[in-house]
Amino acid sequence: MLITDDQFASCRTTVMDANPDMTATMAGRIVDEGIKFVAACSHNPGLGLAPSRIVDEGWHALILHTATYAELCERLGGTFVHHHPEYDPTNYDPSILDRSREKIGELGWEADPELWGPPSDETLVSVAAKCQHAPDCAIRPMPKPEPPNHP
């Protein structure tokens, strides 16, 4: 387990607060995908992964819980995954989402296919997040800083 049940519930509530008509089940699915995405980024620094707009909503909720997010990044090996918001749906690049889902799969999880669609796909759920990370703003995690070498 990467975050506690209480931390998960709090993040799920944040998603529901931002999206008042959303069910707890859907909000939980979105947080789950946000966690998977952060894990994929942490294990693949420099690859340039990006979430779907729906998954980004779960990532936002995690980030708003700063202590939970910092602990999550630390558990994943210390690579802090920074968020660089940008929204320009004309920059949508399906190959980045495909690569992100592939990296999630390599960690032993299945990416929820309903939540990884294009920015225009709101048939399943509409979210408040307006970020679309692709291709110029794909996420590139920063490695854990190394202590300086002193003679």
Contact 99, 116 (CB under 8 A): no
Has residue 139 been placed in a domain?
A: no
Kindly state the percentage of the chain with pLDDT values over 90: 54
Number of independent structural domains in the chain: 1
More confident residue, 57 or 85: 57
More confident residue, 18 or 118: 18
Sheet strands (E) in the chain:
none
Has residue 126 been placed in a domain?
A: no
The token duo for 76 is 């994943």
In Å, how far from its chain's centre is CA 113?
14
To the question of pTM greater than 0.85 for the whole model, the response is no
User: Which tens digit of pLDDT belongs to each residue from 127-148?
Assistant: 766 565 554 444 444 444 445 4
Residue 103 has pLDDT above 50, yes or no: yes
Has residue 131 been placed in a domain?
A: no
Residue listed under structure tokens 């209480």: 6
Question: What domain range is 66 assigned to?
Answer: 5-115
3-state class percentages of the chain: helix first, strand second, coil last, to nearest 5: 50, 5, 50
Kindly state the percentage of the chain with pLDDT values over 70: 75
Has residue 140 been placed in a domain?
A: no
Reference 116, options 75, 45, 107, 105; nearest CA is 105
Has residue 34 been placed in a domain?
A: yes
